[in-house]
Amino acid sequence: MALFGKKKEETKAETTCCCGNSQSAIEVTSTCCGEKVDGICCIKVLGSGCKSCHQLYDNTLKAVEGMGIEVEYVTDLQKIMEYGAMSMPALVINEKVVSVGRVLKPSEISAMISDITDKSECI
């Protein structure tokens, strides 16, 4: 039983987002998941699997319907902690947490997406 073994060594690896920005793999192990569509690299819903988290995921899918953007549902607690989201559900657009602790309506999510597309920002 190796409960008190050696601590795993961390390795620093540079990754490049679809937008060209590099990130350290220790800072954020998740990187943008696809090609940029109207300024949106990726959208993720962070949640534990509860009813509210599933509702935000469903509302996000409705908001991006027909846009060609994939939505990732992240339930891994380690990955969620890397984003710094302290309550669930959380919405991440272009690797930036934009909402925490509430279920947004599809219209609210669409408004956030259009704000980002107007600014054409991607981190």
Q: How do strand 43-46 and strand 71-74 relate by DSSP bridges? A: parallel
The predicted structure's pLDDT at residue 80: 93
Mean pLDDT taken over the chain: 75
The predicted structure's pLDDT at residue 11: 38
Tell me the pLDDT tens digit for each residue of 100-113: 999 999 999 999 98
Q: Are 18 and 36 in contact (CB under 8 A)?
A: yes
Measured from the Cβ of residue 69, the count of other Cβ atoms closer than 10 Å reads: 22
Tell me the pLDDT tens digit for each residue of 69-98: 899 999 999 999 999 988 999 999 989 999
- pLDDT for residue 24 is more than 90: no
Rounded-to-integer distance, Cα 24 and Cα 26, Å = 5
